Structure 1
Amino acid sequence: MHSQSLHTIKPWIEGGPGLRARRDIAEGTKLYRVSGMLSALPTRTSLQVGAALHIDSATAEWRFIEHSCAPNLHMDFVDWSFRADRDIAVGELLTFNYLTTEARMAAPFTCSCGESECFGEISGFAKLAHDLKERLRNRVAPHLWAGEAGGCIFGAFQAMPGTL
């Protein structure tokens, strides 16, 4: 199914643009495959895909997916796509945990998700205490765990120079 029929960009309560489900979305549904321009530097809207590699797109809808410490989406690191973590109701804001892909945030912020196990300051995976990193273990990008040992994993993409 084409992603356009699943979600739409709408303003939400916090005042910024966000993606909301246009219809009910079943758990496991693939919503977006990440694509865009590759860069060594992070931006406020980029997604980290390797130890020193980020992907950004000025036109991709996925850049409007908001952060939550209890998200309804996760990144599938096999094909670098966003998938529904659970059933998502029509109108629900689409979210994922930025700490699962970003070693260091280009624009850190204090989370206001209101979840009982909120991480508080969202500065990046590298800045988390070990026990908080362990809470994310099943959803963290391979490059972040590899980064804990100084490695880099980036094999899921086949890209032309400068693009993905």
Structure 2
Amino acid sequence: MITRLRGASKGVKAYNTLQCGSEPTDHIHLHSDLVFVNHSCDPNMAFDLSSLDSAEWHIRALRSIIPGEQLTAFYPATEWIMDQAFDCNCGSERCLGRVEGASGISAEVLSKYWLNPWIVRLKKDQSIQPDRT
């Protein structure tokens, strides 16, 4: 664990909020410099909001982080549909190219990342929905 997430408050979905549950209204504002954590398709940390108790929410390291290294997170680990999609320029070998949220990423690709439980659940639900084309 890097740090506990303190001072977050409920918010309306926006480019600077984190999704904290499976409902579209489940978003929080961080009220800290953590709002500036950049996306990477090869992240070194994750926003772990998996506990039902928000006092247990924290930032977890996904690998060793070198002092001075920029903290990066995989945004689709919390976001089902991004408020503002963007072209990724992270430079990772597994770069997605376009980041729109977990809803548009295959289950196979998502399986390579640490994900919050609602993302796993929403992806599973999405895969059992009948094809309406």
- Contact 1:35-1:55 at 8 Å conserved across structures: no
**Aligned CA-pair RMSD:** 1.8
- Which residue of 112, 132, 151 corresponds with 2:109? 132
Partner of 1:36: 8
- Which residue of 42, 46, 51 corresponds with 1:74? 46
Structure with higher strand content: 1
1:51-70 alignment runs, 5 A limit: 51-52=22-23, 53-57=26-30, 59-70=31-42
Q: For residues 129 and 34 of structure 1, what CA distance do their matches in structure 2 show?
A: 32
**Which consecutive unaligned segments of at least 5 residues does structure 1 have?**
1-28, 151-164
What's the CA shift for 1:37? 2.1
Q: For residues 122 and 58 of structure 2, what CA distance do their matches in structure 1 show?
A: 21
Is the partner of 1:140 in helix, strand or coil?
A: coil
Is the partner of 1:63 in helix, strand or coil?
A: helix
Distance 1:147 1:35, change over 3 A: farther
The residue type equivalent to 2:79 in the other structure is E
Seq. identity, %: 28
- Contact 1:33-1:81 at 8 Å conserved across structures: yes
1:112-127 alignment runs, 5 A limit: 112-127=89-104
Is the partner of 1:126 in helix, strand or coil?
A: helix
Partner of 2:20: 49
What's the CA shift for 1:48? 0.4
1:109 matched to 2:86? The reply is yes
What's the CA shift for 1:34? 5.2
Q: For residues 87 and 120 of structure 1, what CA distance do their matches in structure 2 show?
A: 25
Q: For residues 105 and 34 of structure 1, what CA distance do their matches in structure 2 show?
A: 23
1:99 matched to 2:76? The reply is yes
- Contact 1:110-1:122 at 8 Å conserved across structures: yes
The residue type equivalent to 2:29 in the other structure is D
What's the CA shift for 1:80? 2.0
1:13-46 per-residue CA deviation (whole Å, 9 max, x = no partner) reads xxxxxxxxxxxxxxxx42241542213x411110
Structure with higher helix content: 2
TM-score normalised by L of structure 2: 0.78
TM-score normalised by L of structure 1: 0.65
